[in-house]
Structure formats: structure tokens, C-alpha cells
Structure 1
């Protein structure tokens, strides 16, 4: 016999989850008694920061990360970024403290009522074990479910007095293989693709998650298919400087139909091409075109407008499609990117900033982005050209990017992480700068300071609103905020000073912040 804590620690060690992201509370303290020397505790100053750091770390390593929260209060703080992790399909095992079982009938201070229900529906599986000795097995099951496609977070609520109870050791489980897809349906898809006159590929984040970057390039070249990025894709799945790269689909029904209107067969892999942001009218897809959708998410496969829907691991599916024959076709015209206008009067535009980051970034760099207003200009002026080189939040929520960059830097210590963060986004999780300084992660935080929630102002115009209340952010000083948390920072207001500040940040072996005033 061993204690629940000892059995759980042994299990975590065998599963490779020895890095714990958390912000400790009273109901979690016994979990960390006699904390093993080979474990690492990564402290975040607020639970939403903790969740996003773990998300970035898990995406960077490709393995489930362990998150520890404080009862209902901590879980509540983390819910926004738990939602993002769920939409990112990030494997996380989330634990939360619970009050002692003996006093739960008395609704004690800091207890969690319906603890397993609270994080739903943004977890794949959730439980508060019926007995203390079931805790290690619950953590093992949580790991299995988190790692099974479609991957995502799971949740285990653990009463404070469970850690000292006796239990038997747990043998670590093995996760199942990825779904290769129905052979007959994939053969049908291959035949449709081979018979196409002008095929198109639409690639979503699942292609990157499944490690199918190279296979996607081979498939596009085999069929000379114009290749688009799916709306709101949180990863880059195709080199944006490739001759077959055709651009980014706008998340509006009418725009998607117009962009894909000349294609007769459309193959969407790894994410839906019908992820809308506003209402629309008319058909979802070009009339007369045949649309095939392949993803590892059964839910998406059930509602995505298409003619043929297949649930499969993107890598396996693309490998099957590559084994089929393809006719020779004309090469489609290459995408022409606009050149950014030189800044006038020294003022810096987001386009100019992005073009300078593209010119100066190290070859082995990773972009983590949460600057909604700059996403369109980024498509034009900061092409992502290497696998696993871009990450953003799939949920559309704010407060993920800055701490996720810290977690990504922990996972990818041999690469330069560049965090592109809007001023409004940064303030949702600015405490992550302290964690970056404490950990010494060499992230370059680039703050786009336009002194407002500019994306909301632009979106308001869709509703005929010329003014939008609550969007003015004038007066923030990110240099002082960064300095107060131990991060060196510089402010840039004129174009002639931009390159020097970026080069300083990109060359640093410590975290740095560059606040760029955007006109």
C-alpha cells in the first residue's frame, strides 16, 4: 500500500507530467507535501494565466500538461482559457482542490458544489472520485481521455483529505491509436479529387496538430490544388510562401462562396471551412462544387456543410489520398502579396511593424498571436513558412496569447518565441510577465498599442455604429508595467527607432517587451 499522493506522483512521473502549472490554495496544499525533486512547479499569478501557460506548453510539447486550480474560485478564474483550450483541442489534465469529505454536508468555506459539473461543457470528461483510493485511477483516465483525438482538457476534483489515504499503485495506461478513417469513404474522396478540373484544399489547425505539414504540401503539389487556410485556423498548416498558397478564407458565408466559386472539388481537412462570425444568406458552398470534409472531431463532421464527411486523423487521411493517382493539371496562379506602404511622418502602422518583424525574426522562431486588429495585416505581411511556427487561440477569447507564449517558450527552449499581443489583449493576463521573468523564458513580447479595443470599433460598423462605448484604453504604459514585474522594456513611437528595438528584443536571452505605438 502507498498513499494517494505517492501513487499519483508515481503515475504522473511515468506519464511525463512532472511540470505542474498552478496557483496554490489551501485545499491543494497536501498535494505538494514532500514535493519530488524531479518535479517542477510553474507559478502563475492568476488561474487564467496558469491555464494559458499550460495550454502553450502542451501544444509546444505535443503532450498533456497538468494544471492545478483552487476549488470553485480558481476554476472560475480559469474558465475563459479553459474554453480556449477546449477549442484549441489542447490535451490538459486539470485538477482542483475540494474541501474535506467529512465536512462537505455542511457547505464549508471554499468548497465546490457540483465540482465535476462546473467546468462543463468545456472539458471532455469530468469527475470527483467517489473514494479517495480512486483518485490515481481517475487521473489516469483523465490522461487517456485528454490524449485521445479529438484531444482536449479533462477535469478531476480532489478533496483535501484524500492525499493521505492508503491506496494501491496504478499502472500507467496506454492511449489508443489515431483514427485512420473509413477506407471506402477515403477511396471515394480520392476518386473525386482525381476527377476534379480545378481542385482546392482548405486546411485547418488539425493538419498541424496531426503533424501533416509535409504531407499537405505533397497533396497540394500532386493535384496542383490552390490551398487556402480555413477561417479562424489557430495553427499554420501550409507554408504561406508556397506557390500554391491561395490565401485565407473570410469567416462569412458569402465571402467563402465567392472565393471558392471557381473550384469544382473542395477538400477541407483539419477544421471546418464554415466557421462563421456573422450571419449570412445564400448557399454555404459554391453551387455545383463537390465538398469533402475530413476531421478528427465527430461533432464538426456532424454539422459541417459538405457532400462527404469523414472522421479521420489528418495525417492518415492525407497519406491515403496521396497513394491514389492524380492527373496532370495546369499550375494555378500564385498569390501576390501587397507591399506595405512606407510610414509617413515617422508614424508606425501595424502593416509596417509586421513587415519589419518578418524581415528581422530569427529563422527558428515561433509566433504566438493575440492582436485581433492586426490579424488581417499579418496575413499579408508576416507569412508563416515553417511547421509549428504559429499559434493563436481558437476560441476568439482574450487573455490567452501572452501567458501561452510563456508556456510555449518552456516547451520550445531552443527556438525564439515572439508574442504579438494587442494592448487590450495584454491587460487580460499581464501578470504572465512576472512568470516569464521568474522562469527566464526569452520571449519577445511585442505590444501593439493603438490605445483602444480597435477590433470592436471595426466590428461595430457592421451594425451601423459609429461610436462604440467602453473601447478607449488611453493612458496605459507597458514599459512601466513590464518593469514592475521584472521584464526589461522599450517604447517605440517613430518608425526610425523600430528596427533597433526589435533587434534588441530578438537577440535577448531573457524576456523583453517592446511597446509599439500604432497609428
Structure 2
């Protein structure tokens, strides 16, 4: 028996959660989580979602917005299994996340019990940075500390902790929260080499990845671009926008195929990639052998990214740290600043309208401090062309993994993390149905958000890619018949079907200004444009 006043593992862990800012917990509970949740503190917030992948992506959006790690509490093997697609998404998004899953009680584990997780720490690999099921109950608080440190240490990402249900009532050993870990500094000799290359080149390009905005270094990147006159590109398939897309030196978006990247960068005699893989490809359009790769540098805090980018000079460093080291060495260049991207015009207006018209209207009405979450693969280029993000005044979030279901759930998590800012989601009809339960949480938590469902009645991205080089016969892509208004209202949200741009303008103005969640179901024309 414990002494009456002896702190339990639960007591010590909750104290650490307070110290680490982990008092908002996202979860979908099961019986193995009951001891963790028992006597839930009044100063903690438990955000309930109706499916494990939904709560994990909600937590992803929340952590992306707050910049701190978030704790997700899931059921043992089956619950974690449901969430693995979202854990993969968090890994690609570099989201600091602690996934805490219940495990059956220790005394039952040798008999392969119901709801037990066999080799629990192995289950979510390789898409967690670290995982553990502690050998002793008393080790749980120390494991939480290490989990937090690993999640927050660059490159940030999800970690996993499996805790047997009977550990929480065991006596604990007091521990204290750790100090933060500073990101690595760049080798000064390599920084000198990079500064000299920027001075001596004629047509430099910077490629700005999501780690720049994660590090809070957008202003420094803008300063570097303006001193050097460099063109600034956004790399393929990224989750954040790290450079103001209305800046006169913004060159556009690299597309996810080797020839497209090589062609876009061919005119530059120096390329510096900051905080992104070089590069992430989606489709094979042939190799880039006929296009000589430009010389350049890659600054990243991720050793894996550096290891696989063999054609660039790798610089292992935190992005803010590296830019602070580099800027004093870079004088303002006398070369002319690079010309910016000329955005294409709108297509002819049809009924229903093309997504480009809807997105252009969103751009006209979007408040300067808005947060935008997108998951509409078919309309990715339309968003890039007609909804420029004026970072850092606005925030932009998307899923980097391609695993659908992130957008609608992350939208809810983002709204919970930013209750005083306008929060807008642009979500495709297909992607919406991967996590539609998230709207229930939005209603229950009174999250203020507006969600546009762009409904083209198909998985158009799959259909369009399938038509390339084939006879165009693709099964399994037709949707249609989903009443998003009825679904949203049934889950507790305000909702309207909007088929006219004038009505959309009115509804959008109202919903962005009003509290609570609103869903606008917007039919759009079928897409005939190639994705890349």
C-alpha cells in the first residue's frame, strides 16, 4: 500500500504536464485510458474527438498553431492503429506531438490479453522519432520528459509512449521539467563559403521551406532575399508558406517532378534551399539528366534530409540560427532584383463556377490576420495562383504527407488554438469525408471557423492523374450525392449550400465575423487541368 500522501505516477505526470504546457489533451478514450483520465483536473482541457485519426490531426493543427508540443491520448493497439495515418501526417509536417496510448495492465501482458498491444513501442515505427513502453511504472514521468524533449528537438516530430493501465496508481519518483534544447549552429567555415557564393553568383535563387516559418525566421529570410536580389521559390508539397507570396521577388511554386524542378531552377547559377527537402517528388515524368543541376547549398536541421540531398552542399543547422550567422556576412548586392511571378488570370465564369473564382473571392475577403487550412488536392494550383499568403501576417497550413483527413480535423484544432483570429478551411469534398466527425468537436467546443467544401463530385486528383497516358478509364473516382449541409447540421454546425458567387460573398463575410463553426457547401466545376 502507498503512504496516504505519497505522490503517484499520475500525480507527478500531471505536474509535469502543467510545467510543459500540455494541459490541453486531445483524445478518444478506451478502457485502458481510464486510470490516466480518472479525477481529471479542473485546470486541464480534454478535447474529445469521435475517431482516433480525427483527434490526432486536430492535435496536429493545434500544435502547428501554438508552436508547442501537444499530447494525444489514444486507446491501445486498435486505437493507435486507427490513428497511424494521422501520425504519419504529423511526421511529415514536423509536428511536435506526444502520442500517449494506454496498455493493458502489466500482470495480464504475458497472456496476450484482450486490448493488449504486442510490442507496443514498435507499432508506430518508423513514423515516430522515438517510442517507449517504460520498464517500471516509476519511469513514466521520466519517459514523458524525454518524449517532450524528443518531440520539440529539431527536426520536430511525433513520439510515442505506451503506459500500462495499472502504472498510474503506483508510487512515483519526483522529477522536474527540463530546459529547452537549442538548435545546432552552422559550421562558421561553411557559412563563410555560402556568403562568398552569394556574393560571387549572378542569378541566385532561394527555396524557402516550412522550417523557416517554424523557426520564426521569415523576416530574416526576406532580408536575405532583398540583400542578394535572389528569386524565392516555394518547394514542392510543403505544409507551410515561409515567404510572402506577394513580394516582388517571389518566383512561384516548384512542382513535384524532377524535370519540372530542374527546368524552373535552370537559369540560376546558385540555389540555396532553406528548411526543406531537395526535393519532394510526386509523379515520375522522366529524370532530370538532361538538365544539369545547379550548384548550391542546403540548410536543414534534419540529418536525413541532408544525407539524401547529395548534389547540394549540406549545412546542418537550425534555420533561425543559420540566418543569424549568415546575414552579417552578406552585403546588399548591386545586381538587379529577380523579377517576380506573374499570376495567371481567371478562367471564364461558368455555372457552377470554377474553383479559381471561389478562391479568388476568398482572397478578396480574407482578413489580414486570418489562418487558412487547406486540403483540396485537385485545387492546389488554383489556391497557389489565386490565394497568395502574405506571411507572416497570415498563417497557412496544409498536410505534407498526402494522407487525406488532415485538413478538416486540423482546421478544428487550429481554431481551438487561435480563438481570436479568423480561421478558414478550404477542403475538397473527398477529403472532407475522411474526418467529417471533426465537425462534432467544433460544435461542442464552440470553435469559431469557416469551412468551404469545394464539391466537384469526384476524387478529381486521382481521375486527372489517371488520364495521363491512358485511355481515361479510371474506376472509383466518382462521388456526388453527399448533402454536406445536412451532415454538418446533424453534427451541430451552421451550414448553407451556396451556388452563386454573390451569395457566397455575403455568407463568407458573415461567417468570418461570427462566432462558432459554419460550413459552406460550394459546388464547383469539374476539373480538366493537369495537376502538374
TM-score by length of 1: 0.98
Q: Give the structure 2 partner of residue 122 of structure 1.
A: 127
Distance across 2 between alignment mates of 1:331 and 1:157: 53
Which of residues 362, 369, 373 is equivalent to 2:367? 362
**For residue 3 of structure 2, what is the aligned residue in structure 1?**
none
Matching of residue 432 in structure 1 with residue 422 in structure 2? no
Residues 54-77 of structure 1, C-alpha deviations (whole Å, 9 max, x = no match): 111111110000100000011001
User: For the Cα contact (< 8 Å) 1:264–1:288, is it kept in 2?
Assistant: no
Give the Cα–Cα distance (whole angstroms) in 1 for the partners of residues 34 and 376 of structure 2: 37
Residue equivalent to 2:426: 420
The 1:64/1:288 distance shift into structure 2, 3 A limit, reads closer
1-structure distance, mates of 2:285, 2:187: 33
Residue 156 of structure 2 is matched in structure 1 by 151
> Partner residue of 1:198?
203
Asked whether the 8 Å contact 1:442–1:509 carries over to 2, the reply is yes
Q: Provide the secondary structure at the position in 2 that maps to 1:2.
A: coil
Q: Does 1:271 align with 2:309?
A: no
The CA distance in 2 between the partners of 1:28 and 1:257, in whole Å, is 51
Report how far residue 85 of structure 1 moved.
0.2
2:506 pairs with 1:500: yes
**Matching residue within 130, 139, 142 for 1:137:** 142
- Structure 2: 5+ residue runs without aligned partners? 1-5, 526-532
1:4-45 Cα shifts (integer Å, max 9, x gaps): 110110111111100110011000001112111110100000
> Deviating runs (4+, > 3 A) in structure 1?
280-286
User: Partner residue of 1:349?
Assistant: 354
Greater Cα offset, 311-320 or 83-92 = 311-320
- 2:23 maps to which residue? 18
| Larger mean Cα displacement after TM superposition, 460-469 or 431-440 | 460-469
How big is the shift at 1:343? 1.6
Distance in 1 (alpha carbons) for counterparts of 2:501 and 2:265? 38
Query: Offset of 1:186 from its aligned partner?
Result: 1.5
Residue segments in structure 1 that go unaligned for 5+ positions in a row: none
Contact kept, 8 Å, 2:226 with 2:337, in 1: the verdict is no
Alignment correspondent of 1:399: 405
Contact 1:505 1:514 in 2 (8 A): no
SS at 1:167's partner residue?
Answer: coil
Using the size of structure 2 for normalisation, the TM-score is: 0.95
For 1:182, the equivalent position in structure 2 comes to 187
Q: Please say if 1:291 is aligned against 2:296.
A: yes
Write out aligned runs for 1:54-133 (5 A). Answer: 54-133=59-138
- 8 Å CA contact 2:231, 2:250 repeated in 1: yes
Q: SS at the partner of 1:222?
A: helix
Could you tell me how far 1:468 is from its partner in structure 2? Answer: 1.3
- Pair 1:276–1:284, CA change in 2 (3 A): farther
1:217 aligns with 2:222: yes
In the alignment, the residues of structure 2 paired with residue 420 and residue 343 of structure 1 have an alpha-carbon distance, to the nearest angstrom, of 20
Q: Does 334-343 or 158-167 show the bigger shift?
A: 334-343
Q: Take 1:298 and 1:515, find their aligned partners in 2: how far apart are those partners?
A: 43
**Secondary structure in structure 1 of the residue aligned to 2:408:** helix
Q: Is the 8 A contact 1:182 1:310 kept in 2?
A: yes
In 1, the alpha carbon distance for the partners of 2:292 and 2:17 equals 52
Matched residue SS, 2:95: coil
**Which deviates further from its counterpart, 285-294 or 315-324?**
285-294
Preserved CA contact (<8 Å) 1:69 1:96: yes
Alpha-carbon distance between aligned partners in 1 of 2:519 and 2:287, rounded to the nearest angstrom:
46
